[in-house]
Structure 1
Amino acid sequence: MPALPRISSSPSVSWNLKRRWRKPLTHPEKTLRAFIAIETPRPMQEAIGRQTAALRQRLPAPLVRWVPPENIHLTLKFLGETSITTLEQLVTLLRTAAEEHSPFELSAAGLGVFPNRAQPRVIWIGLTAPAALLALQRDIEGICARLGYSPEDRPFSPHLTIGRVNPRLNTEEKQRLRQALEERQIGELGTIQVNAFHVFKSDLQPEGAVYTRLYTLPLKSL
């Protein structure tokens, strides 16, 4: 009986087999850092700049990292790092949802902090919270959840972030901050006519974040 052929255990044969069955290389999909927001109009940005000028001078960097007035917005949903494909799917759903909401108006006034006056981390200007805004944000949150975005861990509280406090302040600096905030009052800053919301890309640069509008989602035409 003839001898059966032997299967080679040669490293070269084994390497050739591995190469033959190797899966094709895939490249990770490109992502970007994004958020959904309502823009503030130029007159409001200018009013914020005027009414907070003294506060900015009194609490300069590095005590507080102030947001440039042109970057101030109302965040509806922070998306974080997201793939282009998922973002395009999200925008398709958001566009349909936007057409079910009528335009509305917001007014801005007052100064506040998160989480509290004793340990301020974020300095903000208050906004009214009409039912139309809450309904829109709730729909956006629901759509994002369907695509796997993490839900917010706190209730939606509409505000305009104008500054972020340095977490490494010493006792004297914290007292200086609290005193400055208590002594500064912010009056009426005008209104925002909300006819659309937007998806922005955020690029983090050494000098601060740079925002680029990617998509505009118009609300229902009246």
Structure 2
Amino acid sequence: METIRTFIAIPLPEPLLAQLARVQRQLEKRMPPHSVRWVRAESIHLTLKFLGDTPTEKLPQIDAALAAVAQNAPACTFTVAGLGCFPNPRRPRVLWVGVQEPTGRLAALQDAIEGAVAPFGYPPEGRGFTPHLTLGRVHRRADRRDVARVGEVVTATEVGTLGQVSVDYLALIRSLLKPTGAEYTTLAEFRLNAEPRA
């Protein structure tokens, strides 16, 4: 059975990707060398659900389920602002920029996706949905002082509001792991049923 690695996400507009690249450069200058593996800016996206290894024979069913979710989901707008890290600044592993969407539509969309793909063997994640845009990951072999410095830089850096994103479609994306990093290919796009509202 052939499988491919997939996830469901909201792609980002190029002007925002340029802003995120600027933030990455700003952070990189202040951090210990080689302490963080940066995500290529053009690859940054808002992940709604990571599926992982996906049998290719299930793709038509997943496509149909996502089309049904999208058809019933109102479009929304989110704001990209703030900087943080998981799990916390004392032990940073993932560096991110925050996503704010106060109407609850984005969370409802993510929840609907969880329900739609569960019958295909992708159970809902135990932790709640924390929307974010991953900028980089701390190297596993980084020493403790460097890791602590990364957390200090994140805490001390103010990025403000970087932009707004009108969400009117979602995408099923293939992730091909290569030595140079993951390479993404959009397999299908699903337009939401309503125009974004301010």
**Which band: TM-score by shorter chain?**
over 0.9
The within-5 A match list for 1:36-55 is 36-55=8-27
Cα distance in 2, alignment partners of residues 183 and 162 from structure 1:
16
- Aligned pairs for 1:12-161 (under 5 A) are 29-59=1-31, 62-129=34-101, 130-161=103-134
Please give the TM-score of this superposition, normalised by the length of structure 2: 0.93
Answer whether contact 2:11 2:170 (CA < 8 A) is retained. yes
Runs of at least 5 residues in structure 1 that lack an aligned partner in the other structure: 1-28
Measured in 1, the distance between the counterparts of 2:57 and 2:109 equals 23
Distance 1:204 1:145 in 2: 24
Match of 2:168 in 1: 195
Structure 1 distance, partners of 2:59, 2:189, is 13
Q: Is the contact made by 2:18 and 2:41 (CA closer than 8 Å) also made in structure 1?
A: yes
1:212 is the counterpart of 2:185 = yes
Q: SS of the counterpart of 1:190? A: strand
User: How far apart, CA to CA, are the structure 1 residues paired with 2:77 and 2:147?
Assistant: 36
Question: Is it true that 1:177 corresponds to 2:128 in the alignment?
Answer: no
Question: CA shift at 1:167, angstroms?
Answer: 2.2
Greater RCO (CA < 8 Å, at least 6 residues apart): 2
Aligned equivalents of 2:130, 2:122: Cα separation in 1? 19
Deviations 1:33-91 (A, max 9, x none): 00000011111111111233121233366310101111111100000001111122011
Instruction: Give the secondary structure class of the aligned counterpart of 1:105.
Output: strand
Structure 2 CA distance for partners of 1:187 and 1:97, relative to 1, 3 Å: same
Which residue pairs with 1:167 in the alignment?
140
How many pairs are equivalent?
194
Is the Cα contact below 8 Å between 2:80 and 2:97 reproduced in 1? yes
Please give the alpha-carbon distance, in whole angstroms, between the structure 1 residues aligned to 2:50 and 2:16. 23
- For residue 97 of structure 1, report the CA deviation from its aligned partner: 1.7
Which is strand-richer, 1 or 2? 2
| In 1, Cα distance between equivalents of 2:43 and 2:32 | 18
Structure with the greater alpha carbon radius of gyration: 1
Query: What is the CA–CA distance in structure 1 between the aligned matches of 2:156 and 2:172, rounded to whole Å?
Result: 36
Instruction: Give me the whole-angstrom Cα distance separating, in 2, the residues matched to 1:144 and 1:160.
Output: 22
1:133-180, CA deviations, whole angstroms, 9 ceiling, x for partnerless residues? 111111100011122213212110110011101122222212321222
Consecutive unaligned residues in structure 2, runs of 5 or more: none
**Paired amino acid for 1:137:** Q
